[in-house]
């Protein structure tokens, strides 16, 4: 059931994106997400898609793995698409006036735009997790949040919690698949019946999964205590983060992306006025 979920899994290989500083990748992802929601037309969105495709190629990760990361939000995408399609108003009506449900051309365009925006957001996040180890992510988050430590904010503990949560996503997925296989071997049926029956069938999966998760958390806590883990106190780093030429190139690329999105938002209507009038979002 969850074999195709790749979010949180690391793909080991040598590539330009893999060798980037984790702080640079985190800041690039934040900038990319902000730009996705600042894109007002399809020109800006296409530019974001081109940069995402370039990142996937430079990362040397399988395109199938990046696309499979969207599997977990298919229901959310479908639900939001239906809501926007049926409740977004406009001027060009596509359905007959006598119909109770009215669909407008502007609603269809906005729905496509919104779904693509979420699609690219999840894929961009997947590229980060596929090209960065949990340890590197922890170091990057801790380094970026370091100024908050001066006001006694538990930066190291927060970064550790995020890293452990990300690290255990693949483990919990494998555990879920094993529980499902065991329940099917006992005659459980998860695929037939109405939606209420399927929800009820999930209960025999959730209870063993929660017990297993708590057991793993308890074992991890005992392992950390046995190794005298004491948080950020007197803790040193084996690998120190350093910005290199790759990070400078990535920074320039995202600076060009920011400039491109801003220019497309401002001058997109004047470049192709007829097309823009047809597909405009705002």
Q: Is the pLDDT of residue 169 over 80?
A: no
Among 164, 167, 159, 171, residue whose Cα is nearest residue 26: 159
Task: Give residues with Cβ within 8 angstroms of 138, minimum separation 6.
Answer: 159, 160, 162, 163
Averaged pLDDT of the chain: 79
Give the residue-averaged pLDDT of 174-197.
78
Q: Is the pLDDT of residue 159 over 50?
A: yes
Provide the 10 A C-beta neighbour count for residue 76. 11
Q: pLDDT tens digits for 29-59?
A: 988 988 888 877 777 888 888 888 988 998 9
Give the residue-averaged pLDDT of 72-80.
80
Map tokens 């065991």 to a residue. Answer: 182
Three-state DSSP at 104 gives: strand
For the chain, the domains span 1-132+243-282
Q: Is the pLDDT of residue 232 over 50?
A: yes
Among 168, 139, 171, 172, residue whose Cα is nearest residue 156: 139
């Amino acid at each position: 059931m969850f074999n195709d979920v790749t979010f949180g899994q690391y793909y080991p290989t040598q590539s330009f994106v893999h060798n980037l500083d984790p702080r640079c990748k985190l800041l690039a992802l934040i900038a990319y997400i902000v730009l996705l929601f600042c894109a007002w037309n399809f020109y800006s969105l296409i530019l974001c898609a081109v940069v995402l495709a370039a990142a996937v190629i430079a990362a040397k990760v399988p395109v199938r793995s990046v696309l499979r990361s969207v599997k977990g939000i298919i229901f959310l995408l479908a639900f939001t698409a239906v809501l926007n399609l049926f409740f977004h108003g406009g001027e060009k009506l596509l359905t007959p006036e006598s119909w109770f449900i009215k669909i407008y051309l502007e609603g269809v365009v906005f729905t496509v735009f919104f779904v693509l925006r979420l699609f690219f957001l999840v894929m961009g996040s997947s590229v980060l997790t596929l090209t960065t180890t949990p340890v590197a992510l922890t170091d990057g988050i801790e380094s970026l949040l370091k100024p908050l430590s001066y006001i006694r904010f538990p930066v190291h503990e927060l970064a550790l919690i995020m890293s452990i949560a990300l690290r255990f996503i693949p483990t919990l997925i494998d555990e879920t698949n094993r529980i499902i296989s065991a329940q099917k071997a006992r005659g459980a049926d998860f695929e037939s019946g109405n939606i209420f029956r399927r929800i009820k069938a999930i209960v025999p999966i959730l209870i063993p999964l929660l017990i297993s998760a708590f057991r793993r958390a308890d074992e991890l806590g005992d392992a950390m205590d046995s190794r005298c883990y004491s948080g950020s106190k007197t803790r040193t780093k084996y690998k120190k983060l350093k910005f290199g030429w790759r990070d400078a190139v990535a920074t320039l690329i995202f600076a060009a992306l920011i400039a491109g999105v801003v220019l497309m938002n401002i001058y997109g209507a004047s470049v192709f006025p007829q097309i823009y009038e047809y597909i405009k979002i705002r």
